[in-house]
Chain A
Amino acid sequence: MQPTLERAHTILPLPRVAAGLKKFIPAFPPRLRWTLAGIGLLLLGWQLLAMTTHSAIVASPAATLAALHQLGRSGQLGIELVISLKRLLIALALASGLGFGLGLIAGFSRACRALLEPLRWVTMTLPTVFVAILGLLWFGLGDTQVIFLVMVITAPVIYLNTLAGFDTLDQHLIEMGRVYRFPRWQFFTDIYLPGIGFNVITGLTLAAGLGVRAVLMAELLGAADGVGHSFNRAWTFLKTPELFAWMLASLLLMALLEFGLLMPLRRVLMRWQREAG
């Protein structure tokens, strides 16, 4: 059956949605209004695409939401999200420790920085899919290869941002610390850590975005569960609305990271900036 405008209206009643938005949007501050408008435009584009293509190729927003609702009710959405989130958090914790730790070492020692440069270059240049296949070869199907891939992809980003923090740190503060004989621990807690905090947060945010993509790819290629695996299964059986629902779930994964981890961390590490205005 060819999609028609009339059929699309039965999926999403556009005039009624527009009227609803007109009442709803003025309640928000201007910046949020523009963000909401952006989301609205994306949804509109998606809806138009669904109206002009076959439903087996592009599921409409309404069909996707219905599939997502169904996955949520059955409990599968929650289970797969928790599995992917757990892998992502473990991998990000390991990558943060590695990237931040090596970044600190390289920040203090030019020799170590030069020594680590080839490794950084290799890990940042290798295509993700190559690393994923290596992970499968070395660790087989399951958690370890997923965590391995995410760690290899995200650690260099955190490392580089930590290093950038070092390079932009105010050298006058280091001199001040030397004059007042700051011990090493105090250099770390009073100068280095807050001084590079902004860069570390930026690195973690970038790493989280990359990590979500990497975890889904690793699960798609070599895991028996998780959001990526479920996406793959929906694709295999051509359950297009479910496929799109898992795509939305991947966005939910990033949102969980953003609101559950990155925002609280940003609040703690950058509290001084907010309070100082």
Chain B
Amino acid sequence: MPATAMIQLDRVSKAYNGLLVLNRLSLTVNPGEVVGLVGPSGAGKTTLLHLIAGLIQPDEGHVHVASSRLSYVFQEPRLLPWRSAAANVAAALRANGADRASARMLAQEWLQRVGLAAFAGYYPAQLSGGMQQRVALARAFAVQPDILLLDEPFSHLDDGYKQELLACLRALIQATGVTVVYVTHALPELDGLANHILHLQP
């Protein structure tokens, strides 16, 4: 394993109910790299992200993640419906050690960066799908992650809004230099962003 690798998967296998989803997969992602993962449904893209995030364990092989500062933007925003946009961002910040006052201030700042400063007090149900995903992006970047996992974050959005959010995401990735694993069905989303693109086959 290279000493500098941020994410290292070594001959990892994972099966669900006897169905092999990942078979002896190895992958190395170095700091600051953006790796695109493409492939048809059922190829194991989300499983791979879950393994990196530590949400599941491999049946065989090893997963090594060099930093615990990790963010994950899921296909759906996964916001707490009973907390405002700002409180959702602040909750992640507080979980990562920020006190109440600084979490609130930082949450406001990050909402401003994704263009939602005016909606900080809104509940998720009061926001459109695209706005909710922006809040999820703000939450993901607010914790200053070393690793960012993106699982088709814009798949549910219409094309116009997708381009707008994609531009926002590119700017944030370039500004922060975060290591990214980006799962998508749409190859154009990775144009000019990904250092490597992996094709997974079922």
* Bound Cα distance from A144 to B72, whole angstroms: 54
| Cβ distance A198 to chain B, nearest Cβ, rounded Å | 10
With contacts A190-B91, A194-B82 taken as known, whether A179 is within 8 angstroms of B55 at the C-beta atoms is yes
A277 CA / B124 CA spacing, docked (Å): 11
Q: Which residues of A contact B91 (CB under 8 A)?
A: 180, 182, 186, 190
The B-contacting residues of A in range 175-204, CB under 8 angstroms, are: 175-183, 186, 190-191, 194-195, 197
**In the complex, A197→B83 CA distance in Å?**
14
In the assembly, what is the distance between CA of A181 and CA of B139, in Å?
13
Which residues of chain B have C-beta atoms less than 8 A from A186's C-beta?
A: 91, 94-95
In the bound complex, residues from chain B placing their C-beta under 8 Å from that of A177 are 95
A37 to B139, CA, bound (A): 51
B25 CB–A CB distance under 8 Å: no
* CA distance in complex: A179, B92 (Å): 9
Docked CA distance A273–B124 (Å): 11
Instruction: Tell me the smallest distance from the CB of B83 to a CB of chain A, in Å.
Output: 7
Closest chain B residue to A271 by CB distance?
B82
Residues of B within 8 A of A175 (CB): 55, 74, 78
- Give complex CA distance A77, B126 in Å: 48
- In B55-88, the 8 Å CB interface with A consists of 55, 68, 70-72, 74, 76, 78, 80-83
Residues of A within 8 A of B74 (CB): 172, 175-176
- Cβ of A276 and Cβ of B126 under 8 Å apart? yes
A272 partner residues in chain B, CB cutoff 8 A:
81-83, 123
- Binary interface profile of B, 94-131, with partner A (CB < 8 Å = 1, else 0)? 11100000000000000000000000000111100000
Assess whether A173 is in contact with B80, with CB atoms less than 8 Å apart.
yes
Q: How far is the CA of A99 from the CA of B22 in the complex (A)?
A: 44
Considering residues A180, A190, A194, which has the most beta carbons from chain B within 10 angstroms of its beta carbon?
A: A180
Min CB distance B168 to A, Å, is: 20
Output the least CB separation between A187 and chain B (Å): 9
Given A186-B95, A272-B123, A277-B125, answer yes or no on A178-B55 (Cβ-Cβ < 8 Å): yes
- B96: min CB distance to chain A, Å: 7
Determine the residue in chain B with the shortest Cβ distance to A183: B95
A-side contacts of B82, CB under 8 Å: 194-195, 197, 272-273
Complex CA distance for A28 and B189, rounded to whole angstroms: 57
How far is it, in angstroms, between the C-alpha of A191 and the C-alpha of B53 when the chains are bound? Answer: 19
Closest Cβ of chain A to B165, distance in Å, is 19
Contacts of B139 in A (CB 8 A): 180
Most buried by B among A172, A190, A197, A275: A190
For the A-B complex with A180-B92, A190-B83 known, give 4 more contacts whose Cβ atoms are closer than 8 Å: A173-B78, A179-B71, A181-B68, A277-B125
